[in-house]
Copies of this chain bind each other. A is one copy, B any other.
Amino acid sequence: MSGADLDRLAATAIVITLRAGQSIIEEGGIARHFFTLTSGTARLFKSLPDARQQIVSFAGRGDLLGLAYGARYTTGAEAVDEVRLCRFSRQGLHDLADAFPDLKRRLLSITSNELVLAQEQMLLLGRKKACERLASFLVMRAGRTGDADAGTMARPAGGWVVSLPMRRVDIADYLGMTIETVSRNLTLLKARGLIGVNTLHQVAILDLPALECLAAGQ
């Protein structure tokens, strides 16, 4: 996006700050806006009538929300921790996309990328065992090299440190399992010496190669 594009878009922008748990996008609602996340983490999810939930992705700083859909939002979005975002008119983007082909290329690139991630997640949900899922999740989180506030990591003496701003129930809903299974397998990975659990929301990766191996299903 060039500076001029951004300026025109910025004219319709509203800055919003939300606390943990508050709703950003209502699943099935009419898609009037889209958002850019400037700080914090959000969960994008789909639900079944009896409250079963599947988190489709976590969004961090710089990510766009509410884009890849038609007239209605097909996923909901909620704040995982304190979230700041800019709200834009959806129509504004469409006008802009018509005027600036480069923007379309950018949107295509973002969407393609999300599709590849979604397909990787389908492999995880359909075919991986619980501990492989958790390993995949931790490796993926470690790969977010500080591009999001909540996903920052550093390399202290103890190894890679991964921050997990979400609660266990979010991890469970992302990996298609229960909080108990998440908890048990975290303990398991810790007992095997692959990770260290520093606090509830911070995990140290002690043996990244072994974790990657597990994540790959070997």
**Residues on A facing B (Cβ under 8 Å):** 46, 48-50, 52-54, 56, 68-70, 74-75, 97, 101, 104-105, 107-108, 111-112, 114-116, 118-123, 125-128, 173, 175-176, 216-218
Query: How far, in whole Å, are A69 and B117 apart by their CA atoms in the complex?
Result: 11
**Contact of A119 with B118 at beta-carbon distance under 8 Å, contacts A216-B49, A217-B50, A218-B49 already known:** yes
Q: Is the CB of B122 within 8 A of A122?
A: yes
Hey, which chain B residues are within 8 Å of A175, CB to CB?
126
Q: B115 and A68: CB pair below 8 A? A: yes
Complex: A36 Cα to B36 Cα, angstroms: 35
Q: Which B residues are in CB contact (< 8 Å) with A70?
A: 112, 116
Which of B56, B68, B75, B127 sits near A52, CB closer than 8 Å?
B127
Complex contact A48–B122 (CB within 8 A): no
Say yes or no: A122 contacts B54, CB within 8 Å. Answer: yes
List residues of chain B with CB within 8 A of the CB of A122. 46, 54, 56, 118, 121-122, 125
Q: List 7 A-B contacts (CB under 8 A).
A: A46-B123, A48-B217, A68-B115, A115-B115, A125-B125, A125-B126, A125-B176
Does A116 contact B50, Cβ atoms closer than 8 Å? no
Q: How far is the CA of A176 from the CA of B126 in the complex (A)?
A: 4
Nearest-neighbour CB distance to chain B for A58, whole angstroms, equals 13
Q: Let me know if A50 and B104 touch, CB within 8 A.
A: no
Which residues of chain B have C-beta atoms less than 8 A from A107's C-beta?
Answer: 108
Which of A46, A108, A120 gathers most chain B CB within 10 Å?
Answer: A108
Which of A107, A111, A216 counts the most chain B CB atoms within 10 A?
A: A111
- Within 8 Å CB of A50, what residues of B? 217-218
Across-interface contacts of A125 in B (CB, < 8 A):
122, 125-126, 176
Residue of B nearest to A177 (CB): B126
Q: Which of A50, A123, A173, A217 has the most C-beta atoms of chain B within 10 angstroms of its own C-beta? A: A123
B residues less than 8 Å from A69 (CB atoms): 112, 116
CB-defined contacts of A68 to chain B, threshold 8 Å: 112, 115-116
Closest-CB distance, A166 to chain B (whole angstroms): 16
